[in-house]
Chains A and B, each alone.
Chain A
């Protein structure tokens, strides 16, 4: 089984902790002048997203996690699972609710997203920073009001609810920042 020594620790490295794959966020070498050396690490559990801290005795070996980030195309949702395809090999994987979580509201068919695979199985999905969604339901637009003040909720085709300016109408395409969930602007026809 592949493993890493604490000497190889660096941010981004994927290791196993208590049966879960984790990604190192920060690695700090700690050593009193006359004593034992430690590596104090901050990690993200890739399954739960939770951040944890752990201290290893320096020189210890830790099991590597076979985790890969792959760009894939989102195909469709069959009710239970979300299906993705590798653009070069056409290989397909299915992700369940626990892997998709809150991200389902940013998934638009044909979009390219980052799928995190652990031992070949999807455990997380990261949408692009910006997505274009279609407004399917909102209060009628107030023409000429470009103040941007106030705003109103709009339901999009993916189910996401985004706060939009008053002038946005049903059927319009809008650009949204998936990291903050905020409206960025009207989508230009491309």
Chain B
């Protein structure tokens, strides 16, 4: 017999609708404008760790967006002011208890805020929408360096790859396929296998000021060492949001796109066309702003104590 039934209970779907309402009410009260941008784009994402779905129309390739970041920044450059979007995004080959190849993202941008101010607002949003289901304790903030020092005793900026590798061995981890010189991958192993499970529970945990090599689209603050003005939010050990004090320099943005494509080439992945519209918008001028993307399905999982993302989706990827 075909399993045509939803993967979420009807009770959960009612909670989902209520969560979306509360998110919209939060931004309505703060006068942040809701926008919609195209799901299909001629440009892709050059990040070697993100694989976009591709389709075609009139002989041209279009990519399904993995986040609405580029067109939203074009709106900001065009003078939109504060904006937010709730939309489905698509990422290939991501499937697991916390991953579904299509999922709902809440993304928003605030003018004249740095990443610390935006962390405060993310905290306020999470508390506002979860207050019916979860009682949260005081929020914790760690810099990336403090986080590693607190939970592993490692100094992530000065540690060599060999030291990181040795540490994973001491923790009893058997790792296969990570290149010996890929320091960021070894840091990711330690973050996901050792630190995430040890993070404090029942309170939002923000991590900020990442290694410059993990900046993505964040601006880099000069210093020793230079750090990326990027943050992540964890709740009960689950990664929930990623934010940036946004990079405004179009030349630097082009260099990062090119670097991404070079990394893709080295990894045997197809290069993707970079978003020239975004680069032109940055050239014209992006206002000083911070932006963040938050996984709505995971937020609902945490609110309802669900452990599999399929339990909060009307139909998970197995049932489509």
Q: Give the B-binding residues of A (Cβ under 8 A).
A: 7, 28-38, 40, 52-60
A-B contact pairs, 30 of them (CB 8 A): A28-B97, A29-B95, A29-B96, A29-B98, A29-B99, A30-B192, A30-B193, A31-B94, A31-B99, A32-B188, A32-B192, A34-B49, A34-B214, A34-B216, A34-B230, A34-B242, A35-B49, A35-B188, A36-B49, A36-B178, A36-B184, A38-B188, A40-B193, A54-B176, A55-B173, A56-B176, A57-B176, A57-B177, A60-B176, A60-B177
- Categorize the interface residue count of chain B: 20 to 34
- B residues less than 8 Å from A56 (CB atoms): 176-177
Kindly state the separation between the CA atoms of A36 and B242 in the bound complex, as whole angstroms: 15
Contact in complex: B94, A55 (CB < 8 Å): no
B297 within 8 A of A: no
Contact partner of A54 among B98, B174, B178, B185, CB < 8 A? B174
Q: Smallest Cβ distance from B222 to chain A, in angstroms? A: 21
Contact in complex: B176, A36 (CB < 8 Å): no
B191 within 8 A of A: yes
Q: Smallest Cβ distance from A66 to chain B, in angstroms? A: 21
Q: Which residue of chain A has its CB nearest to the CB of B218?
A: A34
Contact partner of A38 among B47, B98, B189, B230, CB < 8 A? B189
- A residues less than 8 Å from B216 (CB atoms): 34
- B residues less than 8 Å from A40 (CB atoms): 193
Kindly state the separation between the CA atoms of A120 and B124 in the bound complex, as whole angstroms: 62
- A residues less than 8 Å from B182 (CB atoms): 36
10 additional A-B pairs beyond A29-B96, A33-B239, A40-B193, beta carbons within 8 Å, are A32-B188, A33-B242, A34-B214, A36-B182, A37-B93, A37-B94, A53-B174, A55-B173, A57-B176, A60-B176
Contact flags B94-118 to A (C-beta < 8 A → 1, else 0): 1111110000000000000000000
Contact in complex: B188, A36 (CB < 8 Å): yes
Q: Which residue of chain A has its CB nearest to the CB of B192?
A: A30
Contact in complex: B96, A34 (CB < 8 Å): no
Kindly state the separation between the CA atoms of A60 and B49 in the bound complex, as whole angstroms: 14
Q: Give the A-binding residues of B (Cβ under 8 A).
A: 47, 49, 93-99, 173-178, 182, 184-185, 188-189, 191-193, 214, 216, 230, 232, 239, 242, 293
Kindly state the separation between the CA atoms of A52 and B97 in the bound complex, as whole angstroms: 20
Q: Smallest Cβ distance from A54 to chain B, in angstroms? A: 5
Contact partner of A33 among B173, B175, B185, B232, CB < 8 A? B232
Q: Which residue of chain A has its CB nearest to the CB of B97?
A: A28
Contact in complex: B93, A7 (CB < 8 Å): yes
Contact in complex: B189, A55 (CB < 8 Å): yes
Q: In the complex, which of the residues B98, B188, B242 has the most CB atoms of chain A within 10 Å of its own CB atom?
A: B188
Contact in complex: A37, B49 (CB < 8 Å): yes
Contact in complex: B96, A35 (CB < 8 Å): no
Q: Smallest Cβ distance from B180 to chain A, in angstroms? A: 12
- B residues less than 8 Å from A33 (CB atoms): 232, 239, 242, 293
- A residues less than 8 Å from B93 (CB atoms): 7, 37, 58-59
Kindly state the separation between the CA atoms of A38 and B97 in the bound complex, as whole angstroms: 13
Kindly state the separation between the CA atoms of A55 and B190 in the bound complex, as whole angstroms: 12
Contact in complex: A38, B174 (CB < 8 Å): no
Contact in complex: B96, A30 (CB < 8 Å): yes
Q: Which residue of chain B has its CB nearest to the CB of A52?
A: B174
Kindly state the separation between the CA atoms of A38 and B194 in the bound complex, as whole angstroms: 14
- B residues less than 8 Å from A28 (CB atoms): 96-97
Q: Smallest Cβ distance from B274 to chain A, in angstroms? A: 17
Kindly state the separation between the CA atoms of A135 and B93 in the bound complex, as whole angstroms: 57
- B residues less than 8 Å from A60 (CB atoms): 176-177
Q: Which residue of chain B has its CB nearest to the CB of A34?
A: B216
Q: Smallest Cβ distance from A177 to chain B, in angstroms? A: 31
Q: Which residue of chain B has its CB nearest to the CB of A29?
A: B96
Kindly state the separation between the CA atoms of A52 and B174 in the bound complex, as whole angstroms: 9
Q: In the complex, which of the residues B94, B176, B214 has the most CB atoms of chain A within 10 Å of its own CB atom?
A: B176
